Structure formats: C-alpha cells, structure tokens
C-alpha cells in the first residue's frame, strides 16, 4: 500500500492521521505551528487523498499501513496523533504495536463502537454524476440537496479532483459506501497500551462521553482526558491555537 505523506519540520517524529473523507491537508495549519519542534508526517490514509485505493479497508490494515510507513522512513518509534477515524487507526497502531508508539493523542473519538451516521453524506456524494457534472458549482448544488451546511460541503468537495478531463473522487467512494460500518468499529481485545495517552475532546461534541471512561481506562490505563473549550468535533479547525498548545504540553516541548 503506497501512502501519500507530507513530511515537514525537524525533531522527534509525529505522525498525524485525518478522519473520514479527509486528507493530510486537514492538519497543515496545525503542522506549521509544530514543525519547529517535530518532524511531521501528515498521512493520507488508504482510500483517501492521494494514497492508493484498496478493496481491503479496516482498522487493522490501516494500522499496518502506518507501521509499514514507519519502517520505510526508518522510524523505530514515533508520537502518533489521529482525529476521529484517524484516532481509531492510531489506537489500533498503539494496541497492535505498542513498542512503536512513544505517546498517543486521540482527537474526539473513544474506543467504543459508533453507529453509522454518514448516510446523508454518502447519498449526496453518490448522487453526483461524475460523467456529466461540468463544474464544482454544479457538484455543490447537487450535494446541497442532501447537506445544508456549507462548511461540510466544502470539506467534502476537497476530495473532488479532475482526472483525464473529467471530475473524479480522491476518496474510494464505492468501497467507503460498501464498508462504512467499519468506521464505527470499536476496540475489542485483551491488550492495552500503557504509555501516556491523551484523549482530546471538543467540549461541544458528543463523541467522547462519560460512559466511555471505562473503555478508555481499560485499553489505555495511562490516559488523560481534556476538553477543548468552544470546539465541536472539528476541534483542530475550530480552536487550532488551543489544540496546538495542548499537543505541545502533552508531548513535552
């Protein structure tokens, strides 16, 4: 699996993993502020961004993708941070290969199972006829029939590109549509990751709840939970300064 990676900065390695429908670009503004202290590896996970597409798509293979990337880059260990789906991938990396992760940061996701809640997004994306759509405006108009929020549509349409004179999705939309259940998959196993772990939630988000503490403590016994004020699920976009300050403090700059 060939992953597209944006590498920047200098210092201890920090791998950053985006969420569903996202890409490495989602974390570029954060990376700029961290690049003086860390070597950042901003990864497009498989079936996203400019990374390879594959019919095989689950957290175990996405975690192995990251370990293979570390091997290719000669990284014995790294700090690993992930948001939402990327946070789940990061948790799987830490649990499957605890010796390769120095510290773990999980942004606004817990280890539990989450019911599928992306039906409207998938309906909207699949409703865009790439054979006939002639402009991004036309694609946005079609998506607006399913999704009211302009910001969400703009985020999703970042994955729309041109290829051979036609529009195409960077995300592997057929596989994501077919296997969307895997995104909600919970941690299920006997192992644990005993090194420092930060769960960083958005104060206005419902992704990390009181009921999640038991699973967090079970799998990540050396964990700390903080909430970013005035932030929802997209905490790194809504409160970037607070996220940067929190990451630096946790990693020990």
User: Which residues have a catalytic role annotated?
Assistant: 84, 233
Own/partner pairs, 119-122, CB within 8 angstroms, 24+ separation: 120/146, 120/147, 121/21, 121/146, 121/147, 121/152, 121/156, 122/176, 122/177, 122/180
Q: Measure the CA–CA gap between 62 and 183, rounded to whole angstroms.
A: 11
Beta bridge partners of residue 78, listed in sequence order: 101
Per-residue CA distances from 9 to 16, 26, 153 (Å): 13, 17, 31
Instruction: Report d(CA 99, CA 193) in Å as an integer.
Output: 9
Report how far residue 85's alpha carbon sits from residue 19's, in angstroms, rounded to the nearest whole number.
5
Tell me how crowded residue 11 is: count the other CB atoms within 10 A of its CB: 14
| Cα distances (Å, whole numbers) of residue 95 to 29, 98, 109 | 29, 6, 16
CA 117 vs. chain centroid, Å, equals: 16
């Amino acid at each position: 699996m060939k992953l597209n990676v944006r590498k920047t900065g200098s210092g201890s390695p920090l791998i950053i993993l985006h969420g569903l429908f996202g890409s490495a670009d989602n974390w570029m503004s954060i990376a700029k502020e961290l690049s003086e202290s860390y070597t950042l590896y901003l990864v497009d996970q498989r079936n996203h961004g400019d990374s390879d597409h594959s019919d095989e798509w689950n957290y175990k293979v996405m975690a192995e993708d990251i370990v293979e990337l570390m091997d290719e880059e000669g990284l014995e260990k790294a700090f690993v941070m992930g948001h939402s789906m990327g946070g789940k991938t990061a948790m799987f990396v830490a649990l499957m290969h605890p010796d390769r992760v120095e510290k773990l940061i999980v942004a606004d996701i817990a280890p539990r199972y989450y019911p599928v809640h992306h039906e409207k997004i998938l309906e909207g994306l699949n409703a865009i006829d790439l054979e006939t759509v002639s402009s991004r405006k036309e694609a946005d108009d079609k998506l607006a029939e399913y999704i009211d929020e302009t910001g969400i549509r703009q985020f999703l349409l970042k994955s729309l590109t041109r290829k051979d004179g036609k529009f195409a999705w960077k995300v592997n939309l057929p596989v994501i549509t077919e296997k969307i259940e895997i995104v909600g998959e919970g941690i299920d196993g006997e192992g644990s990751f005993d090194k420092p772990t930060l769960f960083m939630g958005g104060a206005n988000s419902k992704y990390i709840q009181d009921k999640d503490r038991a699973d967090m403590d079970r799998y990540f016994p050396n964990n700390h939970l903080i909430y970013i004020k005035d932030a929802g699920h997209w905490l790194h976009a809504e409160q970037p300064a607070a996220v940067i300050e929190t990451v630096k403090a946790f990693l020990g700059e």
